[in-house]
Each structure stands twice: as C-alpha cells, then as structure tokens.
Amino acid sequence: MYAPAPFYSASLTDTEQLVNHIVMGTLLLSQQGKMSGSPLPFRAIRTDRGLRLFGHMDRQNPLSQQLRSASDILVVFWGPNAYVSPSFYTQGPRVPTWLFASCHIHGSLTVIDEEAVLASQMDALTRHVEPQDSCWQIEQVSAYKHLLLPAIVGFWIDVEEAHCQFRHGQHNSPSDQASVRQALQAGQPGDQAMANWITTWQS
C-alpha cells in the first residue's frame, strides 16, 4: 500500500480497531497465478502471538474450495470515506481531495475444522455486530444455527503484515481540520460517517 506519512500505520492496535469497526472486508486469494476474491465479514482478535482474523463463508462459495491451497492471502478493508471540496477549507488555494480509512492485511490462513470452534466464533461475531439494545439474541435460534453450521466454512487468518492508511486531513491546520469536519457533518450520511470516524479516532 502506498501511504505517505502522516497517514500510514502498521500498528496492530489500529488494525484491530479498523477491522472491528468496518467488519466487511474483501478476501483475495492467489492460486496458480489467478486471483479470486469475495466480500466477507471479519472479526479481529488479539492473541498471545499477535492479531488474528476470524472469517466465514457459504460452503457453496467457489472460493471455499481454494482456502487450503491458496499461495497468497490479502484482505482489504475500506472504511468511511468522503469527498472534500476546496470550499470546506478556511485557507487557500486548495484542490479537491478524498478522506478515507483503509487497511491491507497479509497473513496465513487456516480452515476451522472443529464445529464447536466455528459455532463459538459465529456467536462472538453476531454479538459484536448486533446492536447492544437489540431484543434478539443468538441463543434464541440455537437449534436452527446448528442446522446451518455444516453449510458454513470458517477460517483463521494470522496477520503477518498490516498496512493501514488514515487520511483524515491531519496534516492541515487545526482551523482547516475543524472546518472540514463541520462541513462533512452537515453533508450526506457517508460524509457524516467520515466526520464521526475522524472525531472518534482522534478522541
């Protein structure tokens, strides 16, 4: 990933926070010189040896047949992003730009063969994404969930490299940063998501 300072980060803490905020990533596998990919949900987990991603897919997904033999693994996460007009700044001259958060993760993949482990991780992912004030819980459909597990392939990716880019306009003056956030907060839902992400990240 090309990410000049001050936007670049290889921090596993930053990577974990970004993955668990975005959840959806694109898994890319290389096999015999051919690249294949699929959008999938992920959860980042800290272990004694570093950072690990849990992912899963429908067993009918053609990519599931390549998991054990893939030679290269890449997962791409795209976070909030928004167009920034030169009119958002307090100082000029300026040109249009784009603010965004993204991460490229390389690692080694292991298929989960134990159904109990897969069930446990599926439960943890569900609890992570289900709204905290929801009246629904995964335990309410325990029997149905176990009927579906044979149709799911779960896997681990042990992170070997993580390259993140947080282009928040942090190289700009404090007045310009505040002006851009204010303009984004008054914009469309995607713009507001970017403004909220910047505020959360800097707090």
- List, for residues 113-141, the tens digit of each pLDDT value: 999 999 999 999 999 999 888 898 888 88
Task: Find out whether 68 and 111 touch, Cβ atoms under 8 Å.
Answer: yes
Q: Is residue 3 part of a domain?
A: no
99 domain-assigned: yes
- Residue 89 DSSP label: -
Each residue's pLDDT tens digit, 25-72: 999 998 877 889 999 999 999 999 899 999 999 999 999 999 998 878
1 is a domain residue: no
pTM score, two decimals?
A: 0.91
What are the structure tokens assigned to 73, written together? 């693994």
What mean pLDDT is predicted for residues 193-200? 92
d(Cα 98, Cα 191) in Å, to the nearest integer? 11
Mean pLDDT for the chain?
93
Residue 36 lies inside a defined structural domain of this protein: yes
CA angle 140, 21, 187 (to 5 degrees): 115
Q: Residue 120, SS3?
A: helix
Mean pLDDT of the region 12-27: 95
pLDDT of residue 33: 78
What is the reported pLDDT for 122? 93
Residue 113 lies in a domain: yes
Q: Where are the alpha helices (DSSP H) in the chain?
A: 12-22, 115-129, 142-148, 174-185, 189-202
Model confidence at 12: pLDDT above 70? yes
Domain count, the chain: 1
Closest listed residue to residue 52, CA positions, set 127, 162, 174: 162
Q: How high is the pLDDT of residue 203?
A: 64
Q: Tell me, what's the pLDDT at 39? A: 97
Query: Can you say whether residue 160 is alpha, beta or left, with left for phi > 0 and alpha for psi between -120 and 50 degrees?
Result: alpha
3-state secondary structure of 186: coil
Residue 148 lies in a domain: yes
Rounded to an integer, what is the distance from CA 63 to the centroid of its chain? 19
| 201 has a pLDDT exceeding 90 | no
Residue 96: pLDDT band (50, 70, 90) is very high
Where in the sequence is the domain holding 163, given as residue range(s)? 8-202
Q: In the predicted model, what is the mean pLDDT of residues 154-181?
A: 95
Domain-embedded: residue 2: no
Is-contact 197 101, C-beta < 8 A?
A: yes
Task: Enter the DSSP assignment of 71.
Answer: S
- Count of other CB atoms within 10 angstroms of residue 176: 17
Instruction: Give me the pLDDT at residue 29, please.
Output: 94
92 within some domain = yes
Q: Give me the CATH number covering residue 114.
A: 2.30.110.10
Q: Which of 95, 53, 56 is nearest to 74 (CA)?
A: 53
